[in-house]
């Protein structure tokens, strides 16, 4: 197993405050293990608490975009930022939330021109890439182009939030040195 760049707070080493937050995560998510990214944020318990709330309210909810579109964006931005940990875990989430194998492959390759991606989704991915690479250059025309293909202002806002949050998450995970969990491979031929 790859050595981390910086230690995370494992469940075994969690302070009582962090252990309580980990238990809250397991209870609300139904997952038995606390993901590595939360263990990165646990180095500062107030940040962990806020990130858990943010993830629950924005990322792991249907919202205006729907969970599959959010997972497509998360996978795409993470692959674009070369974050294997996030691209893999959100690629897995994309598949279990209704994304096709072809959509997953296109998102992992950052191929916004893939014929298997609907034109409206391709426009959303191109916009997310612009948010990730050059957010200062976004103009009212960019938003209007998304409206023309059917996205609402709320969906455009969620795209901005999702892309920007994943840019942050990707940088945290890469800096800590978390390796991929190989979750897509566990789907057995789903990619």
67-186: what CATH class? mainly alpha
Dump pLDDT digits (tens) for 130-176: 999 999 999 999 999 999 999 999 999 999 999 999 999 999 999 99
Contacts 24+ apart (CB under 8 A), 116-124: 119/149, 120/149, 120/150, 120/151, 121/69, 121/72, 123/149, 123/151, 124/69, 124/73, 124/151, 124/155, 124/159
Dump pLDDT digits (tens) for 86-128: 999 999 999 999 999 999 999 999 999 999 899 999 999 999 9
pLDDT over 70, % of the chain: 97
Distance CA(174)–CA(61), nearest Å, equals: 25
Which positions ≥6 away from 61 have C-beta within 8 Å?
67
CA dihedral 160, 47, 37, 121 (to 10 degrees): -10
24 pLDDT band, cuts 50/70/90, is very high
Residue ranges per structural domain of the chain: 16-59, 67-186
DSSP string spanning 163-188?
Answer: HHHHHHHHHHHHHHTPPP--HHHHTS
CA torsion sign for 91, 89, 54, 81 is negative
Query: What is residue 34's three-state secondary structure?
Result: coil
pTM over 0.85: yes
Length of the chain: 191
pLDDT at 17 exceeding the cut of 50: yes
178 to 44, 105, 119, 137, 169: CA distances (angstroms): 17, 22, 34, 31, 11
163 to 97, 129, 158, 174: CA distances (angstroms): 18, 8, 8, 16
157 to 10, 58, 73, 128, 160: CA distances (angstroms): 34, 11, 13, 11, 5
């Amino acid at each position: 197993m790859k050595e981390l760049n910086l230690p995370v707070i494992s469940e075994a080493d969690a302070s009582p405050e962090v252990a309580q937050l980990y238990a809250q995560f397991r209870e609300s998510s139904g997952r038995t293990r606390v993901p590595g990214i939360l263990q990165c944020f646990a180095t500062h318990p107030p940040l962990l608490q806020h990130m858990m709330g943010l993830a629950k309210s924005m990322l792991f909810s249907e919202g205006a975009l729907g969970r599959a579109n959010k997972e497509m964006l998360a996978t795409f931005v993470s692959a674009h930022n070369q974050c294997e940990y996030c691209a893999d875990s959100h690629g897995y989430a994309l598949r279990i939330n209704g994304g096709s194998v072809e959509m997953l492959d296109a998102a992992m390759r950052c191929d916004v021109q893939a014929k298997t991606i609907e034109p409206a989704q391709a426009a959303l991915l191109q916009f997310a890439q612009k948010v990730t690479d050059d957010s200062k250059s976004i103009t009212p025309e960019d938003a209007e182009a998304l409206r023309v293909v059917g996205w609402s202002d709320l969906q455009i806002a969620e795209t901005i939030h999702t892309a920007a949050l994943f840019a942050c998450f990707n940088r945290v995970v890469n800096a800590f040195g978390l390796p991929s969990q190989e979750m897509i491979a566990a789907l057995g031929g789903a990619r």
